[in-house]
Amino acid sequence: MLDNNQLLRFTTAGSVDDGKSTLIGRLLYDSKSIFEDQLEAIESTSKKKGYDGVDLALFTDGLRDEREQGITIDVAYRYFTTPKRKFIIADTPGHIQYTRNMVTGASTANVATILIDARHGVVEQTKRHTFIASLLQIPHIIVCVNKMDLVDFSEEVFTKIVSDFEDIASKMLVKDVRFIPMSALLGDNVVHRSENMKWYQGAPMLHTLETMHISSDVNKVDARFPVQTVLRPQNESHRDYRGYAGRMASGVLRVADEITVLPAGFTSKIKSIDTYKESLEEAYAPMSVAITLEDDIDISRGDMIVRSNNLPTASQDIELMLCWLHNAPAKPRAKYTIKHTSNDQKAMIKEVVYKIDIETLERITDDDTLQMNSIAKVKIRTTKPLLADAYRENRTTGSVILVDDATNETVAAGMIV
Amino acid sequence: MSKYYLNYLDELESEAIFVLREVWAQFQNPVILFSGGKDSILVTHLAKKAFYPSKIPFSLMHVDTGHNFPETIQFRDQLIKDLGVNLIVGSVQESIDQGKVAEEKGKNATRNALQITTLLDAIELHKIDCAIGGGRRDEEKARAKERFFSHRDDFGQWDPKNQRPELWNIFNGKHFEGEHFRAFPISNWTEMDVWNYIKRENISIPSLYFAHQREVVWRSNSWIPNSEFLMLEDHEEVVTKKIRFRTLGDITITGGIESEADTLEKIALEVAAMRQTERGNRTDDKRSESAMEDRKRQGYF
């Protein structure tokens, strides 16, 4: 593997019926990422279940309940590497009752793969998955039109699905969409080019994943450095050292840059950007570094260092797209802990502006209850100003979670509008 | 002008450092679970980077089964000295002596499952609210569902179907008195990533990982090291082979593979060509299809 190889995270949403597990199994099998003992295990299970041949879908079975019920319950992470890239798959269940798990898997993905059964075309579930990909602002979408073998590898069927998909996607905020006709079962256009669909001029799925441009997925414009902790070694070689440890959320910071520390508003200049190995001239997302400043300023966890000519909005009144993740519904006007980068404070949900019907994608304005899997636009008020960026500009400083103080459970995920 | 993206190893490193700093910021008394294996050595190395120029702010905790490779203990003690950190040892032998757990019987007896009690007792005794582990999601199917911040109830148990959702990089470590967390900074690393990184950073690891001559017995499809704890069957024969270990655990259950790889470069090449998973040589995972899930639910690493 080459030194400059990148890491690509993608999510797969779909149900067992779409052939999602078969697709993942095929991707891993044909890229030679399945080990012999794993293959032996699924061979023996396939035999026990009385299947002809090996069912590659079994490779993605996880917990005992999932094996017994033949479903995916939780997000499972899988890994494979090719000579070009390292891949992390967030394998998420596609059923409506697991919306929260799809949202979880989507939150860190560069690419969403959306499976469509060629026999059924664009269905409600396709809409839902695309909506979640757009809500979570996954930068790229690959639409896998699967089971082409069952429609005689028909170009006409594929073209119709592409056009139907573009109809629904045009109503959402999606940027980069690619379409691939495939048969995961037979391996057509997954890793190897299909012999059965010569009319398709594009690349197979793996090649697409290996070559798509992802360096611009992270915001490189707005310099944001949330402080995680302060390093004060007070040892002989570093008696007066005061380093602010954190990870660049976005943008670039350079030595001598004029910075502002929020929320206090103090200004200073960057003195050094340090790592264990060396001191750097600049840091960019997602690097973990320690920053020292020219002036002695009181800075602690939860503060944010930003470039002085580019500040986030500090406001106590925030609009969010909220996905409710917990069994217990939202309590009206209750207070929650809101976690935003390294900052914790309290927030109250003041108003549910509208909910989204996840099946029809229509807005509901006469129902303001938030239950498990609800997606809604809400207004919240925080006790102190939140250093907000819009989620569509910045996935790190534009995202929050809500925690219920009575149970300590994570109850909601929010994206700043 | 330089490039503005990280390669995969730098991105994994940065993510792990971020997680370690979150642990330090969100918990009162975190420790690193240190087994002497490459994964816990890697986590310790990453912790050194995360807090430099400060010292690693965590103690290292070793759950000692008493069935150790002597090389592991030597390595552990040297590392503790070099880093200047505190070591906490939880002893399985003591748990047995106190009657809290009973030794398994028979030739396949191991102290693997007994570690759970010792671990949970040590966590309670030392009021530890977060134990940082070297678990990776690629190791085993139950681990594929693990969070970076994994909640344990006041009995130390893991409930895989009822985990807190973990979105973006916002970790929720809030907990009540008596509960604790496990944190897994290298969740997203594969075995290959670990070796490539160890090679790149030239991290020192126990000699057991390099090919060496050792007395072994062929059992459960791998070479089990001969030791005072091993009960030999009549048909089993002790032979000397050039072997190395892909994972390190209790000496009674860790199988070696025949190998000529005696440098980090050769190991990385060998791992890249492997057709078996690394835990394929661990008899503890072979007991049933959900052996790992069952142990993890009870509080295993």
Q: Which residue of B has its CA nearest to A300?
A: B25
A263 neighbors A303 (Cβ within 8 angstroms): yes
Residue B41: partners with Cβ closer than 8 Å, 6 or more residues away: B79, B203, B205
Q: What is the pLDDT of residue A55?
A: 75
Sign of CA dihedral B37, B43, B46, B50: negative
Q: What is the DSSP string of A9-41?
A: EEEEEE-GGGTHHHHHHHHHHHTT-S-HHHHHH
A328 neighbors A411 (Cβ within 8 angstroms): yes
Rounded CA-CA distance A243/A258 in Å is 17
pLDDT in tens, A362-400: 999 998 899 998 999 999 999 999 999 999 999 999 999
**CB of B275 within 8 Å of any CB in chain A?**
yes
Q: Which amino acid is at B1?
A: M
Q: What is the CATH number of the domain that holds A253?
A: 2.40.30.10
Domain shared by A230 and A129, yes or no: no
Distances (CA, A) of B68 to A166, B219, B220, B251: 61, 19, 20, 5
How much of chain B is helix, strand and coil, in % rounded to 5?
A: 35, 15, 45
Q: What is the DSSP string of B206-227?
A: -GGGS-EEEEEEEETTEEEEP-
Tally of structural domains, chain A: 3
Domain shared by A199 and A244, yes or no: no
Assess if residue A407 is contained within a domain: yes
Distances (CA, A) of B32 to B41, B44, B132: 10, 7, 5
**CB of B293 within 8 Å of any CB in chain A?**
yes
Domain shared by A208 and A233, yes or no: no
Q: Rounded to the nearest 5 degrees, what angle is found at the Cα of A83, between the Cα atoms of A195 and A108?
A: 95
> Which chain B residues contact residue A35 at CB under 8 A?
274-277, 280
Assess if residue A1 is contained within a domain: no
Domain shared by A203 and A266, yes or no: no
pLDDT bin (cut points 50, 70, 90) of residue A63 is low
Interface of B with A in 255-274 (CB under 8 A): 274
Average pLDDT, chain A: 90
Give the mean pLDDT per block of 10 residues along chain B (301 residues): 82 98 97 94 97 95 87 93 93 82 76 83 91 90 85 82 89 92 95 93 93 88 85 87 87 86 90 71 58 71 68
Q: Is the ipTM of this complex over 0.90?
A: yes
Q: What is the CATH number of the domain that holds A25?
A: 3.40.50.300
Domain shared by A289 and A350, yes or no: no
How much is the average pLDDT of A230-257? Answer: 94
Cβ separation B25–A4 shorter than 8 A: no
Rounded CA-CA distance A9/A108 in Å is 7
Interface of B with A in 128-167 (CB under 8 A): 137-138, 141-142, 144-145, 160-161, 163-167
Query: Is the per-residue pLDDT at A134 higher than 90?
Result: yes
Assess if residue A257 is contained within a domain: yes
Q: What is the pLDDT of residue A148?
A: 97
Helix and strand counts by DSSP (H, E) for chain A: 7, 22
Listed residue (A37, A33, A23) closest to A147, CA to CA: A23
Q: What is the pLDDT of residue B80?
A: 94
How much is the average pLDDT of A321-327? Answer: 93
Q: What is the pLDDT of residue B131?
A: 95
Interface of B with A in 44-63 (CB under 8 A): 48-55
Give the number of A-B residue pairs with CB atoms closer than 8 Å: 180
Q: Rounded to the nearest 5 degrees, what angle is found at the Cα of B132, between the Cα atoms of B129 and B136?
A: 140
Query: Is the per-residue pLDDT at A71 higher than 60?
Result: no
Domain shared by A177 and A242, yes or no: no
Assess if residue A110 is contained within a domain: yes
**What does CATH list as the number for B8-192+290-298?**
3.40.50.620
Mutation target for A interface from B58, B167, B186, B190: give the one with most A CBs within 10 A: B167
A255 neighbors A271 (Cβ within 8 angstroms): yes
Cβ separation B8–A233 shorter than 8 A: no
A290 neighbors B63 (Cβ within 8 angstroms): no
Domain shared by A40 and A136, yes or no: yes
pLDDT in tens, A83-106: 899 999 998 877 766 788 888 889
pLDDT bin (cut points 50, 70, 90) of residue A163 is very high
Listed residue (B85, B92, B32) closest to B54, CA to CA: B85
How much is the average pLDDT of A148-169? Answer: 96
Q: Where are the domains of chain B?
A: 8-192+290-298, 206-285
Q: What is the DSSP string of B134-194?
A: ---TTS-TTGGG--SEEEE-TT----GGGPPP--TT-------TT-EEEE-TTTT--HHHH
Q: What is the pLDDT of residue B275?
A: 66
Assess if residue A344 is contained within a domain: yes
Q: What is the pLDDT of residue B282?
A: 58
Domain shared by A211 and A233, yes or no: no
A210 neighbors A196 (Cβ within 8 angstroms): no
> Which chain B residues contact residue A38 at CB under 8 A?
277
> Quick one: tokens of A336?
């929650």
Residue A148: partners with Cβ closer than 8 Å, 6 or more residues away: A118, A154, A157, A158, A181, A182, A183, A188, A194, A196, A197
Rounded CA-CA distance A76/A93 in Å is 9
Residue A306: partners with Cβ closer than 8 Å, 6 or more residues away: A222, A223, A224, A225, A259, A260, A262, A312
Domain shared by A342 and A285, yes or no: no
Q: Of the candidates A217, A244, A272, which is a domain's last residue?
A: A217
Name the more confident of A133 and B221: A133
Q: Of the candidates A261, A290, A307, which is a domain's last residue?
A: A307
Measured between its terminal Cα atoms, the distance across chain B in Å is: 45
Interface of B with A in 200-239 (CB under 8 A): none
> Quick one: tokens of A152?
């005689």
Domain shared by A136 and A153, yes or no: yes
Rounded CA-CA distance A223/A394 in Å is 11
Interface of A with B in 107-146 (CB under 8 A): 107-108
Structural domain including A113 reads: 6-217
> Which chain A residues contact residue B4 at CB under 8 A?
215, 220, 252, 284
pLDDT in tens, A249-304: 999 999 999 999 999 999 999 999 999 999 999 999 999 999 999 999 999 999 99
How much is the average pLDDT of A231-245? Answer: 91
Interface of B with A in 91-130 (CB under 8 A): none
Judged by DSSP in three states, B50 sits in helix
Rounded CA-CA distance A140/B84 in Å is 47
* Residue A201 CB neighbour total at 10 angstroms: 6
Rounded CA-CA distance A336/A324 in Å is 13
pLDDT > 90 fraction of chain A, expressed in percent and rounded: 67
Assess if residue A246 is contained within a domain: yes
Which of A5, A35, A284 has its CB closest to that of B8? A5
Domain shared by A297 and A325, yes or no: no
Assess if residue A386 is contained within a domain: yes
Q: Of the candidates A217, A248, A275, which is a domain's last residue?
A: A217
Query: Is the per-residue pLDDT at A133 higher than 60?
Result: yes
How much is the average pLDDT of A1-29? Answer: 81
Domain shared by A334 and A283, yes or no: no
Distances (CA, A) of A283 to A77, A184, A246, A279, B179: 29, 41, 11, 10, 37
User: Residue holding tokens 């990089």?
Assistant: B169
Cβ separation A37–B277 shorter than 8 A: yes
